A and B are shown apart, each in its own frame.
Chain A
């Protein structure tokens, strides 16, 4: 049962999202369309949301109530196997591949680092945040050569500043307070004013 509940978790979440979105769609102002009896700005999103909700309900009922393993798969299913090797399709049902080993700690750390970058870049500015991000991410990814990591981080961040701000003229965050001054000095160094 726990297995089945886990299997319908994504569909249950999507169903909750669909319900919430439908309630939000009911608050769309339709007064401008009501005059000529035309369909309003809420019609299209409501159709999409209802269809999404119904698909989620179908999956939940199929798995939890009917205990059915029936799954319609796209037309490219089964094409991706070597004809000279035994088929991946057994009894008409594709054999699931062995699940890959997972590294949740690495995933969470990486995700935190990505979110951290977004939070910190307005304060530290692009150059400093990028250099720090590169160093920590590369170390986190299992690269064990500290000097190379340091060089890649600093030179990489500087190269990105040159490419984006000097060559592609993209305006990137400069940071706040002393970090702003540092970014400005760096930009002056590469000839951007």
Chain B
């Protein structure tokens, strides 16, 4: 009952004219960044962050949450109509959605996508509300070893879930963890790695790492591969801009697909570092193997759209659970929502449910309203969204750079920060070029201080006995799962390598 009352309170907060306007702006911006060439959802939310500096905390959270929710949807439209995925999470929609468009079923494909996003998004929002508070209550009993293990689990999962080399992901993570140590140490007050440079004494803000590596780094990468100056897509006939919603009977015929997609999205979303893209691909992979119509996936089957879209949208609710209940972001976009909390002096985690439940439930309510608003906008605003594809990439990228600079400068009014984000832009570009993932670097910088402080507290209060992390049951179990997740890809690759070598040496012996 309390939960329902709090949620109504959250809805009432959104219902004020200013907050409602902020919600609509957030939804529109989220859709634009998901569609604009040269912009990604995470970059878009990063660029919106500076606008929240002078806002109250509630509208700031409403804006970013609305962007996060709607940013998971709009890319579906361009993927289905023009074979242009707005975000990596929309790639599965190319396989089935665009195939349906080529068969003349574009409106139907858009309808399936909209229905899946609505059902997946609302279902995950309900689970998020039901799950977050019990998790936060359980986390209240945790001590520093458990918190260290949870942070370690988050860091390990972002490495284990990376698509490329695990070693490179670990190096990227180590660099992020190192960057978080620059400045004055919070426990002893010792100066670390400042090298006599005054602004380094204040530490390197993770916001600068994030804006530089994601924003400037991405622009440099696009410069290196050449901009597309022409319109990205031909708008085509107006009949393509219609959405034909599936009938109830049709929705019921794919109920198990919807259920699998939504559950996968929620579960994968909860895992720190996974997010909407991983959710969509994992759900799609599961559906192709275990779905009734799995063999038809990739050839224009509605199930492919339903499972991928429901999973991507459901991941939003899932990713907000660890953020709000434990202060650990579940995805790139939630890392920025964490930044918004921190910029307003609020540390998400179990305590926030006690100290600021109104804010937590404002975020929850924003997801509910955001999902519905996103679907209404998605239904009516297809044509203008598609026109956005005409924006030349060079113009968009120029503005991205400027937004990055203003965002970095506005945080501390320091010109030195501009040099820092330019430097991280170069690092982000080099990482991309040499196939080092950026997500572990950013997550390492964000979670580094939390990992270090909990590690140090646990060690100091247990006479430097490191076994405490393994002997306490919850901490030991979480660390065990994290280590398993880290070593599994290595063991899997080693076995595959040995099998290959064996196969190659067989002909030589025979």
Residues of A at the B interface (CB closer than 8 Å) are: 10-11, 14, 21, 24-25, 28-30, 32-33, 37-45, 48-49, 51-52, 55-56, 58-59, 70-77, 79-80, 82-85, 91-93, 100-104, 106-107, 109-111, 114-115, 117-118, 121-122, 130, 133-134, 137-138, 140-144, 152, 156, 160, 164, 168-173
Task: Report yes or no: A72 in contact with B494, Cβ–Cβ below 8 A.
Answer: yes
Task: Report yes or no: B223 in contact with A70, Cβ–Cβ below 8 A.
Answer: no
B484 CB, nearest partner CB in chain A, Å? 11
Task: Report yes or no: A103 in contact with B224, Cβ–Cβ below 8 A.
Answer: yes
Task: Report yes or no: A76 in contact with B163, Cβ–Cβ below 8 A.
Answer: yes
Task: Report yes or no: B190 in contact with A168, Cβ–Cβ below 8 A.
Answer: no
Task: Report yes or no: A73 in contact with B493, Cβ–Cβ below 8 A.
Answer: yes
Task: Report yes or no: A75 in contact with B489, Cβ–Cβ below 8 A.
Answer: yes
Residues of A within 8 A of B430 (CB): 10
Task: Report yes or no: A93 in contact with B402, Cβ–Cβ below 8 A.
Answer: no
Residues of B within 8 A of A85 (CB): 298
Q: Give CA–CA (A51, B451) in the complex, Å.
A: 16
Task: Report yes or no: B490 in contact with A72, Cβ–Cβ below 8 A.
Answer: yes
Residues of B within 8 A of A103 (CB): 223-226
Task: Report yes or no: B418 in contact with A121, Cβ–Cβ below 8 A.
Answer: yes
Residues of B at the A interface (CB closer than 8 Å) are: 50-51, 53-54, 88, 91, 95, 159-167, 169-171, 174-175, 177-178, 181, 185, 187-193, 195, 216, 219-220, 223-227, 229, 278, 281-282, 284-285, 288, 297-299, 392-395, 397-399, 401-402, 405-406, 409-410, 413, 415, 418-419, 422, 425-426, 430, 434, 436, 452, 455-456, 459-460, 464, 485, 488-490, 492-494, 496-497, 499-500, 503
Q: Give CA–CA (A45, B406) in the complex, Å.
A: 31
Could you show 30 A-B contacts with beta carbons less than 8 Å apart?
A10-B430, A10-B436, A21-B178, A25-B193, A29-B190, A33-B188, A38-B460, A42-B192, A43-B456, A55-B170, A56-B171, A74-B162, A75-B488, A77-B164, A84-B298, A106-B224, A107-B220, A109-B223, A110-B220, A114-B422, A114-B425, A121-B415, A121-B418, A137-B394, A137-B397, A141-B397, A143-B395, A170-B50, A171-B410, A171-B413
Q: Give CA–CA (A122, B419) in the complex, Å.
A: 12
Which among B223, B399, B488, B500 is the interface contact of A110 at CB below 8 angstroms? B223
Q: 3 nearest interchain CB pairs? A: A141-B394, A84-B298, A52-B174
Which among B174, B493, B497 is the interface contact of A48 at CB below 8 angstroms? B174
Further contacts, 10 of them, CB under 8 A, given A72-B492, A79-B163, A80-B281: A32-B189, A44-B456, A48-B174, A73-B489, A77-B164, A79-B278, A91-B503, A111-B426, A121-B415, A171-B410
Q: With contacts A49-B178, A141-B394 known, is A72 near B219, CB below 8 A?
A: no
Which among A48, A84, A144 is the interface contact of B95 at CB below 8 angstroms? A84
Q: Give CA–CA (A14, B430) in the complex, Å.
A: 12
Which among B54, B425, B489 is the interface contact of A168 at CB below 8 angstroms? B54
Q: Give CA–CA (A130, B54) in the complex, Å.
A: 22
B416 CB, nearest partner CB in chain A, Å? 10
Task: Report yes or no: A45 in contact with B456, Cβ–Cβ below 8 A.
Answer: no
Which among B165, B193, B223 is the interface contact of A24 at CB below 8 angstroms? B193
Residues of A within 8 A of B415 (CB): 118, 121-122, 173
